[in-house]
Structure formats: structure tokens, C-alpha cells
């Protein structure tokens, strides 16, 4: 028995669909939706500005706080792509159901055209996306209870598949 509600947490690389899919999964399950990027922007301002004014290490600290608060709230929680880098966050995720969203590099390029992601700013965005994903992949895979690829098909098909998976009791729940 856990003291706080278990969240359904979406992790994965930039542009995999954590925000857009997570919002729709929450609607399908009739539960709350929190996106840690959206939450921290509300409190601290735009992400590129935070990186420019205070650097990535500072961003990771406030991201860590946003993740902790969001996990306590429960429901569906979409993390920023780099939140998995924090060891405390990785530890916290063990108490929740974690879904890894993946996407093929050929597909993601078209999804990353806006300038909201400072780690992809400027030239060579796709080369950096690929390197960052390769570096974090073991952390994503270690944390994930299930993986869904968002590269093809309608977004709603991924949403439905995750909602169906989420409704299936975990072995722990079955035997509780």
C-alpha cells in the first residue's frame, strides 16, 4: 500500500510526444494531467530564458522540484526529456507506472521546428537530438515499465494503446 496515488508517468526524448500524448491519455482515463515543463514555465518563465540566464544546472534543479510536486499530484505526468538525468527522480519513478515514448529520428525532425528547446537551438539540431537520445537511452529503458513508439499512425492510436495498458492492473495490484 502506498501513501500517495500512483502516477502514470511519460518519459522519452524531445518530440516523442510526451506532452501531446500525455494530455490525451489523462482525458481518456478521466484523470488529471501535469506536464513538468509547463509547470516550471508557469513559475519561472520560458525555458530558453532560464537556460540563457542561469544555465542548464539551474534548470535541472527547478525541474527536479517540478517533478517531485507533479508526482505527488498523481494522474498522468509528462516529464521534460532530460528529467531522467536526475538520480533522485529516477529513484522516485520506481513507485509509479512509467511509459517510455520513442520516435524515429526521421520522423522527429518535423516535430522539432519551434525554438522552445535550447538544447536543439542553432545548426545540427538533429545530430544533437540523436546524440542526446543515445546518451539517455539506457536511463529511459531502465525506468520504463512499457514502451510505445509514436513514429507512425494517428496520435490517437498511441493514446488508446497507453490508456488500455494503464487500465490493466499491475501484478502487485492483482495480488494486493
Ligand X SMILES: Nc1ncnc2c1ncn2[C@@H]1O[C@H](COP(=O)(O)OP(=O)(O)OP(=O)(O)O)[C@@H](O)[C@H]1O
Ligand Y SMILES: O=C(O)C1=C[C@@H](O)[C@@H](O)[C@H](O)C1
Mention every residue, 6+ apart, whose C-beta is less than 8 A from residue 159. Answer: 21, 24, 25, 28
Residue 155 touches which member of Mg ion, ligand Y, ligand X, none, C-beta under 5-8 Å by kind = ligand X
Q: Which residues, in sequence order, are bridge partners of residue 98?
A: 9
Cα separation, 113 vs 161, in Å, equals 27
Cell matching residue 47: 525555458
> Which one of the spans 14-22, 64-72, 130-138, 167-175 is the region binding ligand X (CB under 6 A)?
14-22
Do residues 126 and 57 make contact, with C-beta atoms less than 8 angstroms apart? no
**Is 68 flagged in the annotation as binding?**
no
Cell matching residue 100: 517510455
86 binds ligand Y (CB under 6 A): no
Nearer of residues 119 and 160 to ligand Y, judged by Cβ: 119
**Is 136 flagged in the annotation as binding?**
yes
Phi, psi dihedrals of residue 97, rounded to the nearest 5°: -90, 125
24 binds ligand X (CB under 6 A): no
Instruction: Outline where 45-154 has alpha helix (H).
Output: 47-54, 56-73, 87-93, 105-108, 125-143
**Is 45 flagged in the annotation as binding?**
no
Binding mask 15-54 for Mg ion (x = CB under 5 A): ---xx-----------------------------------
**Is 27 flagged in the annotation as binding?**
no
**Is 16 flagged in the annotation as binding?**
yes
- In the set 33, 77, 81, 108, which binds ligand Y (CB under 6 A)? 81
Measured N-to-C along each axis, helices 36-44 and 56-73 cross at an angle, to the nearest 10 degrees, of 120
> Which one of the spans 7-15, 53-61, 131-139, 165-173 is the region binding ligand X (CB under 6 A)?
7-15
22 binds ligand Y (CB under 6 A): no
Q: Give the interface with ligand X as residue ranges (CB under 6 A).
A: 12, 14-21, 37, 80-81, 111, 117, 150, 155, 158
Amino acid at each position: 500500500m502506498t501513501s500517495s496515488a500512483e502516477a502514470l508517468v511519460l518519459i522519452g526524448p524531445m518530440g516523442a510526444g510526451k506532452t501531446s500524448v500525455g494530455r490525451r491519455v489523462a482525458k481518456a482515463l478521466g484523470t488529471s494531467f501535469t506536464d513538468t515543463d509547463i509547470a516550471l514555465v508557469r513559475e519561472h518563465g520560458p525555458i530558453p530564458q532560464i537556460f540563457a540566464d542561469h544555465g542548464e544546472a539551474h534548470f535541472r534543479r527547478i525541474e527536479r522540484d517540478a517533478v517531485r510536486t507533479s508526482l505527488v499530484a498523481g494522474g498522468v505526468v509528462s516529464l521534460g526529456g532530460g528529467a531522467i538525468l536526475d538520480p533522485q527522480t529516477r529513484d522516485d519513478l520506481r513507485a509509479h507506472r512509467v511509459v517510455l515514448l520513442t520516435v524515429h529520428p526521421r520522423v522527429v525532425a518535423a516535430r522539432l521546428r519551434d525554438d522552445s528547446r535550447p538544447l536543439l537551438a542553432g545548426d545540427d539540431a538533429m545530430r544533437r537530438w540523436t546524440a542526446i537520445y543515445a546518451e539517455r537511452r539506457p536511463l529511459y529503458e531502465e525506468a520504463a515499465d512499457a514502451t510505445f513508439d509514436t513514429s507512425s499512425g494517428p496520435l490517437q492510436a498511441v493514446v488508446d494503446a497507453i490508456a488500455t495498458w494503464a487500465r490493466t492492473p499491475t501484478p502487485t495490484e492483482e495480488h494486493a
